Amino acid sequence: MQETYIVDYGAGNIGSVANMIKRVGGKAFIASSPQELEKAERIILPGVGSFDSGMGKLEASGMIEMLNEKVLVEKVPFLGICLGAQLCTKGSEEGTSKGLGWFDADTLKFKFSKEQNLKLPHMGWNYVKACKEHPILNELPQNSRFYFVHKYYLQAQNKQDILFSSEYGSTFASGLQKDNIIALQFHPEKSHKYGMRVMENFINL
């Protein structure tokens, strides 16, 4: 079983992600420095909070250069969750910081009409629809339900990067995938059996 390193940059629910990895039979390690990240065979970037704060904390951790090396050059399997997924885009309407830019995508705020009468954040259980084939989907039923908490969503310029879609006011991308990089807007670590399936598939990539 390969080891999964969770990036600890002060903006994520590290414990619940680590517990889910262990629950599905994986080995979870916490990386809070470039030196610790250097050994990673697969990487998870969790995150909650605002985009600019998250990027600021990631920059302060000194791990961006190592992340680029591991993910873009060595092509280790990578999973971004919630804010961690948004940080993989070019930037967010939530702030002014540049994102990692691993996807040709932006993070945009939900905008609803008064008639739609939808609340922000989009919080709770919602269905996700697979938009293409990928090993992360192994034995995952179509229209599985996952737990969401977000006001901003992923918008990819390249439609081939869309892994999952969901409905909230309109259709939005709830997951992106390109090469070894997966970005999920929902929280697999909080999504019971479906989340366990996704996490198990990831640690077996």
CATH number of the domain residue 149 falls in: 3.40.50.880
94, 131, 150, 187: the active-site residue: 187
d(C-alpha 36, C-alpha 56), whole Å: 20
Q: Provide the residue range defining the domain that includes 108.
A: 3-203
Q: What is the mean pLDDT of residues 51-77?
A: 97
Paired with 123 in beta bridges are 149
CA 150 to chain centre: 12
pLDDT of residue 1 exceeding 70, the answer is: no
Q: What is the mean pLDDT of residues 120-142?
A: 95
Q: The pTM is what? A: 0.96
Number of domains into which the chain is organized: 1
36, 82, 94, 122: the active-site residue: 82
Q: Does the annotation count 82 as an active-site position?
A: yes
pLDDT of residue 53 exceeding 70, the answer is: yes
pLDDT of residue 11 exceeding 90, the answer is: no
Q: Does the annotation count 187 as an active-site position?
A: yes
d(C-alpha 60, C-alpha 53), whole Å: 10
Q: What is the mean pLDDT of residues 160-169?
A: 97
122, 131, 189, 200: the active-site residue: 189
